[in-house]
Amino acid sequence: MFDSMKLAILDDYASIAPTAFSYLSDITTDTFPETLDARTTDGAAALVERLKPYPIISTMRERTIFSRETLSQLPNLKLLLTTGPRNASIDVAACKELGITLCGTGPKPNAVKGYDATNEQTWALILGLAKGVARDDYTVKHEDGWQNGLGMGLAGKTLGLLGLGKLGAQAAFTGKLGFGMNVVAWSASLTQEKADQIAEERGLIKGSFKVMGSKKELFEQADVLSVHYVLSERSRGIVGKEELGAMKKSAIVVNTSRGPLIDEDALVGLLEKGAIRGAALDVFETEPLPKDSPWRRKDWGTNGKSQVLISPHMGYAEEETMRSWYVQQAENVERWMKGEEVKIKIG
């Protein structure tokens, strides 16, 4: 179908994508690991200038934003590859209208049904913050200290889940069975009947997961509040000043879902006052974090401020998954160049 093609690889922070594409002899690849912020005028212009020559672009889910305006200024773009089955940063309708083939990827070959790397990250953060792992590591290594703080026990505490979908349910099972926590949940459409069905699917009795009557009640009851909500225009900022203000002073909030679900200014203000025990975050409003982001400050946990534990959106970024995604992208490029149907076409 084509003789030679140029492929732009975006946002490959771990530099693993080129190996996956290397067997495609008719493809010339260029790698751009630094994400351009297309939400700014200058960033959007720089992104267009960077990508204009490329008929094929490989992007990592929800790193680079492909708006209708950006896509319309890329006349050479014919195949846009994303990782995962969907990407909220891409205007799917615009791709279809502009004749751009958009395709995603499926799970890794050895995926275990009912278990997900994001849930592992959720609990790494919960345990890391509750047990002060990063704080204590720093104390021992850099300050020659020893037991300068106390950990938080989880057994018998209340795990509050904002959302009880696939990942929320996994967090619920882990909290209930792994740590002996009481599990409560809320979402706009969640019923007790649905929560009971989710519990029974894993062999638990009805009532194992209690549905709260309101979002505020969820935040009031939780010792550990974990966010597992789908981001949309309706859910943006679903965790605001009122919800955060309702939390116990001893509670922690965890977000491995999407940054914009939480009002970051409200959360920063709460933590600066030491109004809750702390926050553990894997996702943020702007990613990668700007250099002047308050989350990069080194004084969290001091002078009355709450503890803050952060990770750079690692929920899905585990080795086997990432390598599998790029292998699948390369296979789709090969199929497309042969004029064959791509797999996991989006839109």
Instruction: Give the pLDDT confidence of 268-282 residue by residue, as tens digits.
Output: 999 999 999 999 999
Sheet (strand 79-81) strand order:
27-32, 5-10, 56-58, 79-81, 101-103
Task: Please determine, for residue 327, whether its predicted confidence score (pLDDT) is greater than 60.
Answer: yes
Please state the domain extents for the chain.
5-104+319-337, 117-310
**Mean pLDDT of the region 316-324:** 93
What's the pLDDT band for 88 if we cut at 50, 70, 90?
confident
Task: Please determine, for residue 78, whether its predicted confidence score (pLDDT) is greater than 50.
Answer: yes
CA distances to 6, 35, 132 from 51, rounded to whole Å, are 10, 12, 44
For helices 166-173 and 192-201, the axis angle rounded to 10 degrees is: 60
Q: For residue 3, what pLDDT is reported?
A: 46
**Mean pLDDT of the region 27-42:** 94
Distance CA 69, CA 74 (A): 9
Task: Please determine, for residue 114, whether its predicted confidence score (pLDDT) is greater than 90.
Answer: no
Q: Domain 117-310 belongs to what topology?
A: Rossmann fold (3.40.50)
Q: Which amino acid is at 300?
A: W
Q: Which two tokens stand for residue 336?
A: 């497309």
Q: For residue 4, what pLDDT is reported?
A: 58
- 3-state SS class at 309: strand
What's the pLDDT band for 62 if we cut at 50, 70, 90?
confident
* Residues 116, 170 contacting (CB under 8 angstroms): yes
Q: For residue 149, what pLDDT is reported?
A: 87
What's the pLDDT band for 1 if we cut at 50, 70, 90?
very low
**Mean pLDDT of the region 152-160:** 98
Assigned CATH class of 5-104+319-337: alpha beta
Q: State the chain's mean pLDDT as an integer.
A: 95
Contacts by residues 114-119 (CB-CB < 8 Å, ≥ 24 positions apart): 114/170, 114/202, 115/170, 116/166, 116/167, 116/170, 117/315, 117/316, 117/317, 117/318, 117/321, 118/167, 118/256, 118/315, 118/316, 119/167, 119/170, 119/171, 119/174
What does the pLDDT look like over 173-232, one tens digit per residue? 999 999 999 999 999 999 999 999 999 998 999 999 999 999 999 999 999 999 999 998
Q: What is the dihedral of CA 153, 158, 163, 168, to 10 degrees?
A: 50
